Amino acid sequence: MKKRGARNIRPSKICPVCDRPFEWRKAWRNCWDDVVYCSERCRRRKSKSNP
């Protein structure tokens, strides 16, 4: 059997809108450095969080 120990360790970031951590997703594999928000909802709410 193969062990999957290293596969469970994923990079994470903190969303600036909701202050929650979010982890790397396969859909973001090519643009992880550009990802800032955890969801589309937080991306739309970004202007409300900045005074």
- Tell me the β-bridge partners of 21: 14
Average pLDDT of 11-33? Answer: 95
pLDDT of res. 4 = 60
Average pLDDT of 9-36? Answer: 94
The contacts of residue 14 (CB under 8 Å, 6+ apart) are 20, 21, 22
Residue 29 has pLDDT above 70, yes or no: yes
User: In the numeric block, which tokens belong to residue 3?
Assistant: 């062990």
Average pLDDT of 16-24? Answer: 95
Nearest to 38 by CA among 26, 22, 19: 22
Residue 7 has pLDDT above 90, yes or no: no
The contacts of residue 10 (CB under 8 Å, 6+ apart) are 23, 24
